[in-house]
Amino acid sequence: MTPMVVIYHSGFGHTEQVALCVVNGANRVAGVQAQAMSVVDVDWEVLAAAEAIVFGAPVYMGSVSATFKQFMDDSSRTWFAQGWQDKVAAGFVNSGALSGDKQVALQQLQTFAGQHGMLWVNFALQPSGTGPTDLNRLGSYSGLMTQADNEAPEHTPPQGDRDTAEAFGQHIAERTVRWQRGAK
Ligand SMILES: Cc1cc2nc3c(=O)[nH]c(=O)nc-3n(C[C@H](O)[C@H](O)[C@H](O)COP(=O)(O)O)c2cc1C
Which residue in 96, 181, 88 sits closest to 138, CA to CA? 96
The tens digit of pLDDT for each residue in 65-98 reads 999 999 999 999 999 999 999 999 999 999 999 9
- Whether residue 178 is predicted with pLDDT greater than 90 in this model: the reply is yes
CB atoms within 10 A of CB 77: 10
- The minimum-distance atom of ligand 1 relative to the CA of 150 is 19
Q: How far is the C-alpha of 9 from the C-alpha of 12, rounded, in Å?
A: 9
Residues flanking ligand 1, CB < 6 Å: 10-15, 58-62, 94-97, 100-101, 148
The tens digit of pLDDT for each residue in 23-65 reads 999 999 999 999 999 999 999 999 999 999 999 999 999 999 9
Q: Are the C-beta atoms of residues 72 and 35 closer than 8 Å to each other?
A: no
Q: What is the mean pLDDT of the chain?
A: 97
Whose CA is closest to atom 20 on ligand 1? 95
Q: How far is the CA of 157 from the centre of ligand 1 (A)?
A: 12
Dihedral of CA 59/64/70/75: which sign? Answer: positive
- The minimum-distance atom of ligand 1 relative to the CA of 18 is 26
pLDDT given for residue 98 in this prediction: 97
**Residue 184 banded pLDDT, cuts 50, 70, 90:** low
**Residue 158 banded pLDDT, cuts 50, 70, 90:** very high
Whose CA is closest to atom 2 on ligand 1? 60
- The minimum-distance atom of ligand 1 relative to the CA of 157 is 21
Percent of the chain topping pLDDT 70: 99
- Whether residue 145 is predicted with pLDDT greater than 90 in this model: the reply is yes
pLDDT given for residue 30 in this prediction: 98
Whose CA is closest to atom 29 on ligand 1? 60
**Residue 17 banded pLDDT, cuts 50, 70, 90:** very high
Which residue in 109, 116, 27, 119 sits closest to 68, CA to CA? 109
pLDDT given for residue 133 in this prediction: 98
| Mean pLDDT across 132-159 | 98
Whose CA is closest to atom 6 on ligand 1? 60
Q: How far is the C-alpha of 83 from the C-alpha of 101, rounded, in Å?
A: 30
Q: Is domain 2-183 in CATH 3.30.70.330, yes or no? A: no
Q: How far is the CA of 170 from the centre of ligand 1 (A)?
A: 26
Dihedral of CA 181/163/138/104: which sign? Answer: negative
In the chain, domain spans: 2-183
Q: Is 49 exposed, middle or buried (0-12, 13-18, 19+ CB in 10 A)?
A: exposed
